[in-house]
A = this chain, B = another copy of it.
Amino acid sequence: MKISGRNFIQGKVVDIKKGATTAHVHIEIAGGVVLTASITNEAVEDLKLEKGKACHALIKASDVMVAVD
């Protein structure tokens, strides 16, 4: 499968915090950078996410901002 979302970044799950309906998944990518994804608990279960699991972060280009000093 190919997806139009331009940012598809290899990583692995390093932490999952489930709330009542929304979970925060922490994904370590290259260089030790850790991303936070806020997704549904349902998705966490459907994808069988757990610490150490290989995954990709997927981000649409229109959701990326740029900041400079």
List residues of chain A with CB under 8 Å of any chain B CB: 1-9, 13, 17-25, 27, 29-33, 35-40, 42-44, 46-49, 53-69
Contact = CB atoms under 8 A, between A and B. Distances in A.
Nearest to A31: B30
The winner among A9, A65, A69 for most chain B CB atoms within 10 A is A65
Contacts of A23: 21
A27 to B, nearest CB: 7
B4 A37 contact: yes
B64 A56 contact: no
B49 A40 contact: no
Given A1-B1, A4-B47, A30-B33, A55 B60 contact: no
